[in-house]
Chains A and B, each alone.
Chain A
Amino acid sequence: MGISAALFSGSKCYFFDGARYIRVTRGDEGPGTVDAGYPKPIAQWGWPAGFGQQGIDAALYAGSKCFFFDGNRYIRVTRGETGTGTVDAGYPRPITTWAWPGGFGQSGIDAALYSSTKAYFFDGPLYLRVTRGGSEPWTVDDGYPRTIADVWGWPGRFGRFGIDAALFSGTKCYFFDGNRYIRVTRGDVGPGTVDPGYSKRIHDVWNWPEGFGVGERVVVFFKTLLPLSAGVQSLIDTQYREMRRLFLKFGIEVFFGAVEDLSGNADLEDFLALDVGPCLLGQPTAEHQVLFAQRTGAGPDDLVVYVVQTLEGDNDSLLGCATHPAGRPGAAIVPTPALWLTAHEIGHVLGLRHVCEFPSDTNPNPPTPCVVGSTQSDNVMFPRMTWTRPPPNISAAEAARMLASSLSKPT
């Protein structure tokens, strides 16, 4: 586990980990010193109700202004090097205000980087560069977004699916991906050069307070019964990216295991339509038993998500089902545009239940009836995929339950 955002602020910098943050005094290089009294609750920033309460995705220094990003909204804050500053009038605003091209950042971004006259925004494997000037939105430079892997030259698997945070630091920049980080020497533009010896483990270097930037991790593999076309790959990448971004805010880092194309396996061909029976936890069907035995590469506690064409229950089709045989944790999903379908199912696997139920003839008075538009429909465990203010949320109690799952492990 690492951090979800970092903010350059002159001689100070700020790191955000879920609902807490620290302030660090430092120069261009080195870990600096965590200021006394930190970590502090993120609530101290005094942001508008509902914004960043449980964490933010990204922060961007821009001189006397700072920007903070939470899902598909952001705020602009006027502040000095220290202190929380004042949220400018009219914020939060929708992230679509930035008018990024091609769906970039539609549901949020992972990181933002100040770079003098330029700024960089990161969304999964893509990034874009803008030329700053006046009030946002700033001008997106020609040719963006581009793919991180095509340009930045980061080592190994670092940032393969995106990064969690970026920090401007004078002649250096720092990029954070899970529990590792790299330091890069660069100018205002271009990828620069990764300094020798990087990547490194965050906690070997940064001397953050006990427990800060430390959480649990789960590893998720994807196995597809559909041929691994560009569309299916995109589905998997998107589901993974949104789940990782959501869970990271709440102290759970999702690692990508691998993708396996099972479509050529004749023994599994009829599982394109998987019989999930009643889809109740602890009641796997015979088909669950066979399909979920396909765990090549996954450890006993790793989670495997099977992508099928359709899930057929006893009387109906399902979009996802977290039922799995004992000792073979995982879930099955079908292709949908619901960005947090896998997060919902993995939430079930890690112990979460629906936040509410819709009444029906057979269940006219559920104990917690669903109210569309309430905090229930903002929660990833809302029973429908019509989350009202995406990206959805996770409550503190739910995060604690997931962290306590035997399937999540210390990072």
Chain B
Amino acid sequence: MTILGELALWVAMLLATWGTVVGFLGGRTRRPALIRSAQRTTYALCAVLIVSSIGLLTALVRHDFNVQYVASYTSRNLPMVYTIAAFWGGQAGSLLFWALVLSVFAALAQWVTPRRHNHLLPYVAATTSFIVLFFVVVTLFAANPFERLAFTPMDGRGLNPQLQNPGMVVHPPMLYLGYISISIPFAFAVAALFTRRLDTGWLHAIRRWTVVSWLFLSIGITLGMWWAYVELGWGGYWAWDPVENASFLPWLTMTAFLHSVMIQEKRGMLKKWNIVLVLVSFLLSIFGTFLTRSGIISSVHSFTQSAVGTYFGGFLIVIALGVGILLWTRLPDLEAEAQLESMVSREASFLFNNLLLVGIAFSILWGTLFPIISELVRGTQVTVGPPFFNQVNIPIGLALLALTGVGPLIAWRKASVRNLQRQFAMPVAAGLATGAILLALGFGDFYAGMAISLAAFVLTTITQEFVRGIGARHRLHREQYLTAFFRLVGRNRRRYGGYVVHVGIVIYFVAFAGMAFKTEMEASLKPGETTRLRSPFGHTYSFTHLGVSQYRDLNRVVSAATVEVTSDRGGRVGVIKSEKRQHIDSFGRASFEPSTEAGIHSGLREDIYVVYAGSVAGTEEAVYRFTLNPLVWWVWFGGVVLVAGGVVVMWPGGGPTRASLRRAMPGYAATLVGKPDQVGAGTPA
């Protein structure tokens, strides 16, 4: 099967080359035969990459340790789910996985895109084929998962224990899906530039794709946070590590795009900006991969250094230059059709939202690259860590949170005083009241207090929108409140789904604010000894060390230390166990450094996070670190809300109405802008 798999990769290389050439020529000449061929090539490419992936999966599942990749990442005693997850667990396999998913997306893009965008599709096929070509070439020449060893080991080395976690089975593919799906909007942007069809048509073609990739990125990042939290044992979920930053950057630019695209659809403004955001998001997704695989930035997450980094660097330069030149020659076609009319308008608030998002992205990029920049400029590496990122991004983030409340409610073009009063009187009062209550309670942290007050402001704006919408339906259509709610959301999915996403974001912010009150201590306890830790919520926990037990489990030897936790309010909390695991191969030999499994007791108010650091010289006296992490549960809950909102936004069916179809036609936005009387203040987004 590996022979077939590798052969399929070579075929994929030829097909991708063909698809690139024929797609480009088809786009230029508009000859139907070439266009059909380009389209079929994307389907064929998808098929051969599926064959190639099956080849690798078969080798993994059959424990074919003659294949170097299989021997390096799996072992006989590795559970099956992780054996399959090893497909994307290592360098070479993850590149093949990338090519596979991209080819699936590319085929889908050809298949599902409505006919009215046909003129774009040949160039889309050319662009996606070119990207697939790159990944196939890297896989074949720099990191081949089908490479064989000169001998067949009895057993493989096994998967890194930190990757043996359910979160790690889904986190990388989710993040990859996010990264990869950006390629499709990117391909449409390139196609629009080539064809000079730069009206809103291409934006409609990619609308779902942008939401999909944004959703996958969000899920991937949140799962990454969860994995870091439960598996890395340092008691937090975000460390501003270069790899985390790299995944956050395209998320920020995509978020900016999802907002600014509405201005182009409504007002025909920001055409250059939008196309640049799509192009930059794609470049950042490649840049992130380059960063993590080239070893130019030291990160605890890095892959092995290899030639792969050089390939990615080269690809990045080629693509950046290529689209840069293409964009330059098309600038005259990207003139705005309207001008900003007032600073007190939705356009202006979206513009500031974009500036802040891009500002955050830039500061994170700068901080991540600062070791390199400082070495180039001053000859000495200077690094910045979490304090830098927090110091810069907390104030910007709070301003962004405030705009989350303002943007959706303020009128297009120019808001009147009445519009402002009607929309913001209640929310501002709610925000101020929350701030006053926090002050009166003697709340300690300024930024956390700001975050909570702004959260109250934003939540009130959203609640007000739902209440008014439901009320209006109830009065006009005499609907029951529940029916009114579902119809309201169902008929304006983008708008109300967007509100739900905003609720998710607000929950994240409040949860992040909770981390300002993280409390921790370390203690060395003999069995039966107790230590106490005061929670930021005012009560006190007692931790009693029960003892250390050792046993053999599946593919590891475990030392487990157990504490009993009680609270001075509410009594017994429960027993928490933290493990030190020594993974072993099927001959019982140690295969990795020992790893720590934190014990977590999760609650709505706070998590109790217990790490067993080791025992004192063979006795049962254990060294612990106890951490109280406020509001962590809400991070995960915020993620769920956000995904739910995203699903509402992109839920298929319902079908576009006649009016929205008409709006989708080229030139309609221009006509609309020309007749201001047709655009009422407060037009739904």
* B is bound to A: no
* Interface set of A (CB-CB < 8 Å, partner B): none
